[in-house]
Amino acid sequence: MDQLISFIIRPPRAEYNPEHDLLEQEFMLRGKWYQRKDIQIKNSRGDVLQCSHYMPIASPEGKSLPCVIYCHGNSGCRADASEAAIILLHSNITVFALDFSGSGLSGGEHVTLGWNEKDDLKAVVDYLRSNGNVSLIGLWGRSMGAVTSLMYGAEDPSIAGMVLDSPFSNLVDLMMELVDTYKYPLPKFTGGRVSNIDDLNS
């Protein structure tokens, strides 16, 4: 059972090199120059989160721009935000990407499928608001990141909007899907299927 739990909370960690796998520190998109600022933020548990903020090199003078925070999925990382940045930057929307704790290059040993990740997201939102360089804040989440966005958004009504890609609504169903995807053998007492989360505790 411990192996099954470890499989859920410690999925394969995304490995990447920021110099090769993220958008460049300065890059051109549709004739305009943009930059990537790498930032470290500490969450409430003391884990250091590795983050990147994509924005125009020359922002409209005296004008704060809206920002979308990209929240990656299980086994994902901030490199997954590149597509969102390419889509949004041209519309003068900055994009903030992070490795949740336990993911990518950030500190932390485990993922919690949204529970602790919502606190990571709060640390990022607090950073952006204290920095004063953004106007509205929106969220774009995939899978675990979509659930994280929903959980955080329920506590912060000032979030301007959300893009939610494939959020899960039932944790047991999600765990079974992960087990099936990675062909992890279930304990014999489950008969290959868990219909009640309490079965895992017996």
Domain boundaries, the chain: 2-168, 170-202
Residue corresponding to tokens 């929240």: 71
Which among 98, 119, 106 is positioned nearest to 13, based on CA atoms? Answer: 106
Q: What is the H or E stretch that residue 32 is in?
A: strand 32-42
Cα dihedral 73, 4, 169, 78 in deg (nearest 10): -10
Residue 20 to residues 15, 16, 23, 79, 157, Cα–Cα distance (Å): 12, 8, 8, 10, 37
Which amino acid, residue 129?
Answer: R
CATH class of 2-168: alpha beta
Q: What is the pLDDT of residue 7?
A: 64
Each residue's pLDDT tens digit in the chain (202 positions)?
566 666 667 788 999 999 999 999 999 999 999 999 999 999 999 999 999 999 999 877 778 999 999 999 988 999 999 999 999 999 999 999 999 999 999 999 999 989 999 999 999 999 999 998 899 999 999 999 999 999 999 999 999 999 999 887 777 777 777 677 766 665 554 444 544 444 444 4
